[in-house]
Amino acid sequence: MQKATDIDNTKKFNELFSRLSSNSADEQKRAIEEINEMIIEMNEKDSNLIFTKELFDKMDKMIEEKEICLENAFVLLKSIGCWNVLKNVFNYGFYESSLNQRFKKMIIEEELKKEEKEEKLLVDLFECFIFLNFCFPPNSLSICVPCLLKSSSNKEENKDAQTEVEVALIALSGAGYCYVERELYLNEIKEIIEYHKEHHNLTRIAYQSAWMFLIKRIIFENSLEEIIVNELHFGREAAKELEELSKCVDGRRKEGWKGGKETKEELLLMKWIETLWVYFFHCKLWNEDFADLINSLVRVFRIAKDNHREIRKECIYVLEEAARNRSVTVGDLLVSGGAVDAFLEEIHKSTMDDKITIKSLEFFFNISNRLKKEDDERKEAKRKAAKRKVLEKMEEEGYEDTIFCFKGMLYFLCMNYEHRMACNVSYYFVNV
């Protein structure tokens, strides 16, 4: 049953949307600005109720009958799409709509032109298609990716150019996993990242999006790891971004903020944490920046743990993935105030939910696997030293009590979340 607030939001949006078909182009722009402000305030539930197949079908009809100009339709659709990517929200309204079919047809027609193509139109079509489908247009990679990267390479120092670059990079980052030949993107995306490191010309979301697009390509081409890790120094750059963005969360903590609407900086912090998960999941090349990067993530976790549950939870997921990644050393996780300390703090909480419990147990399970005996004498010496440090930290935190607390709920967790976990929870701790 819909709540009154849900009905009010839907009604307000529909009223604003209905104004588009009866106004001039300039009046439409003003109405779209109001709609954009409303979109920024939306939550996922609002999105699913409002951005339906019927809405996009109606927009398609308005374009057909020239009740809204294509330029204004693009502005509105990009606003919806950017919001989707920023908040990781996907609904099927556009995918199933006649407007989606219209855009597919327009892309094909433009690509088939023998004379010079309308590049601006293609960029607009590509961006809207990617934002609302979360994928590249089929059979268009060889045109789509270079086209968007060219738009992303605009170095003009004005707000319109910065917005153009930002939207193109967000679209590229939100297109999911798809094989793209490195000749189509590598030099361009490297130049975009390197130019920003020197001139700071990108917005924060644009910079994160450039990295996300590049890191997703590792799944198809392992050789990119050397470029990302040692040439472009992702770890160092990501740590700096985490430190800066965490200040907005820290400020709220100092003010005693408890819950409520996220700021743009907090949403962007979540996007960087998501990028780190993708990075640790795919990248297997060690770098000395890992320890600082992990510690920056732990600092975000500690800042957020009392007043931002989602950020705290995402940090836990990334740290568990880092422990699973064998290119991250146990030493990287053991640095004073680091990941091991964070998990030991977390598992003492009475308010842990089941998924966080699983991630905590998996973290120690992964460390246990990493501390198995080595044949090489030098590696064995390092292993024993690391094992000693882990045990000392656990003893300081009273891990025996934690084991006892987990035993009562382990059967439920195994049955409902992680079937492959051992039945004896002490395995995750004692056998370290």
Task: Report pLDDT for 170.
Answer: 95
- DSSP structure string for 342-377: HHHHHTT-TT--HHHHHHHHHHHHHHHHHTS--SSH
Of 20-29, 43-52, 293-302, the one with minimum mean pLDDT is: 20-29
Task: Report pLDDT for 345.
Answer: 77
- DSSP structure string for 19-47: GGGGS-HHHHHHHHHHHHHHHHH--HHHH
Cα Dmax for the chain: 79
Task: Report pLDDT for 430.
Answer: 45
Q: What does the alpha-carbon distance between residue 243 and residue 428 come to, in Å, rounded to a whole number? A: 32
How many Cβ atoms sit within 10 Å of the Cβ of residue 120?
Answer: 13
Q: What is the pTM of this model?
A: 0.87
Q: Which helix (H) or strand (E) holds 395?
A: helix 377-396
Residues 6+ apart with CB under 8 A from 165: 151, 152, 153, 154, 202, 203, 206
pLDDT in tens, 387-408: 777 777 666 666 555 544 554 4
Query: Where would I find the H helices in 255-376?
Result: 264-282, 290-304, 309-324, 330-334, 339-346, 354-370
Q: Which residue has the higher pLDDT, 115 or 136?
A: 136
Q: Is 181 helix (H, G, I), strand (E, B) or coil?
A: coil
User: Tokens representing 75?
Assistant: 């502005």
Task: Report pLDDT for 129.
Answer: 94
Residues 6+ apart with CB under 8 A from 132: 77, 80, 81, 84, 94, 95, 100
Task: Report pLDDT for 370.
Answer: 75
Average pLDDT across the chain, whole number: 83
User: Tokens representing 106?
Assistant: 């327009």
Q: What does the alpha-carbon distance between residue 407 and residue 405 come to, in Å, rounded to a whole number? A: 6
Task: Report pLDDT for 253.
Answer: 55
Q: What integer is the mean pLDDT of 150-178? A: 92
Q: For the chain, what are the domain ranges?
A: 12-134, 222-254+263-430
According to the CATH classification, is domain 222-254+263-430 in 1.25.10?
Answer: yes
3-state helix, strand, coil in the chain (%, to 5): 70, 0, 30
pLDDT band at 415 (very low <50, low <70, confident <90, very high): low
Q: What integer is the mean pLDDT of 336-355? A: 73
Q: Is 272 helix (H, G, I), strand (E, B) or coil?
A: helix
pLDDT in tens, 39-55: 888 888 888 889 999 99
Q: What does the alpha-carbon distance between residue 409 and residue 429 come to, in Å, rounded to a whole number? A: 16
Task: Report pLDDT for 413.
Answer: 53
Length of the chain measured in residues: 432
Q: What are the φ/ψ torsions at residue 218 (nearest 5 degrees)?
A: -60, -35
Task: Report pLDDT for 182.
Answer: 93
Task: Report pLDDT for 432.
Answer: 42
If you ran DSSP here, which 8-state letter would residue 229 be given?
I
